[in-house]
Each structure stands twice: as C-alpha cells, then as structure tokens.
Amino acid sequence: MDSRPIPSEISRANLHDLRIVWKDGHQSTYPARYLRLRCPCAGCVDEWTGRRVLKSADVSEDVVPTSLQLVGRYALRVHWSDSHSHGIYTFEFLRDLCPCADCESSAQESEGLEASD
Ligand SMILES: [Zn+2]
Ligand SMILES: [Zn+2]
C-alpha cells in the first residue's frame, strides 16, 4: 500500500509561512523559522549520528523562504533568506512535521496508546 503523502498545493501562506494543502484535504501551515530549524541537510544534521548541528541561535528570527523548488515528485527544496538552500524536505518529512493540533495529538496517541481512526 502506498500511503505517501502528496501535496496538491504548495504556496506561501504569507511572507513568513509556508502552506501545503494535501491530496487528502489536510492543510498544513509551517512557520518559516520552524521549518528552517528542521532543515534536514548534511550541514544542519550530522549525517552519521543524525544529531542536529544547527542551533536555534544560528537562525535569524526573521528568516523567510525566498523560493520553493520541487525536487522530482517527492520533495521540496527551500531557498532561505539566509542564503541556505541545501535542505530537501521530502513530502513525507513535511507531513510528519505538520504543526497543526490534529497532527500533534495523533502523534501523541501513537506513542504507546492504542491507535484510533
Ligand atoms: Zn541545512
Ligand atoms: Zn496537520
């Protein structure tokens, strides 16, 4: 079964935020700095240990995405105003990062409690 999340629309919610509407109708709004801090590139995350090297203090409070670029059919590359553009955010990763209340509560449920529909 292929349950990979697919975005039907990727746009800027406003100057700072990124918005994704998913094929299943779910909408995610990501604050720019939240996404920038979770950049998955080798410069921000240690490739071997998986440890995050990027520190909160390293990212400016007013960082914004300057452009968005699709990578194949599975990911999004974000160019940031701090001239960082190495991060490739797969759709799966982005969906996992969805900061909405629904996703946060389902993430908690999956930590031990029984799953419900
Ligand atoms: Zn990075
Ligand atoms: Zn969500």
Q: What is the mean pLDDT of each run of 10 residues along the chain (117 residues)?
A: 85 93 97 97 94 96 95 96 96 96 78 48
In the chain, the domains with their CATH numbers are 7-109 (3.30.2020.30)
Instruction: Report the pLDDT value the prediction gives residue 2, as an integer from 0 to 100.
Output: 63
Q: Which string of b and e fits 5-44 if b means at least 16 CB within 10 Å?
A: bebeebeeeeeebbebebeeeeebebebbebbbbbebeeb
Give the model's pLDDT for residue 89.
97
- Give the ligand whose atoms come closest to the C-alpha of residue 58: 1
How many A from CA of 29 to the centre of ligand 2?
A: 8
Q: CA–CA separation, 93 vs 117, rounded Å?
A: 21
Question: Distance, CA 18 to ligand 1 centroid (Å)?
Answer: 17
- Judged by its nearest atom, the ligand closest to the C-alpha of residue 100 is 2
pTM for the predicted model, two decimal places: 0.85
| Cα–Cα distance, 19 to 68 (Å, whole number) | 11
pLDDT of residue 20: 97
Distance 100 CA to ligand 1 centre (A): 23
